[in-house]
Amino acid sequence: MARGDQLGRQWKIIQTLISSRTGKSAADLSEELECHPRTIYRDLEALQIAGFPIFTERVEGKNLWSLLDTVKHQIPIPFNLTELMALYFSRDMLKRQY
């Protein structure tokens, strides 16, 4: 898998979780992004390790993933989430090139 595919998928996961009011299951995310659920779990773990406030809660027998509400509405630094994601992924791509 190309590194760009992984970054693009992680970007889509963040955007999907931002727009979701109730959270998304790994199965829902894998269906939307057309990949295996194990891939989604790896991406969610990577995003958590990178510092994104993603959490899971069990609702009606399903594990739903979402972002902390404060992240969806307000970030206490002068960047919005989209700008932070762009900086994070750009830094990661530059590290791999040099």
Structural domain total, the chain: 1
Kindly indicate the confidence band of residue 25, based on its pLDDT and cuts at 50, 70 and 90. Answer: very high
d(CA 64, CA 62): 6
Q: Which domain holds residue 34?
A: 3-97
d(CA 49, CA 61): 26
**HSE-up (13 A, CA, CB side) for residue 63:** 10
Quick check: helix, strand or coil at residue 22? coil
Q: Is a pLDDT exceeding 80 seen at residue 16?
A: yes
Nearest CA to 92 out of 35, 15, 10 is that of 10
Which residue has better confidence, 30 or 95?
30
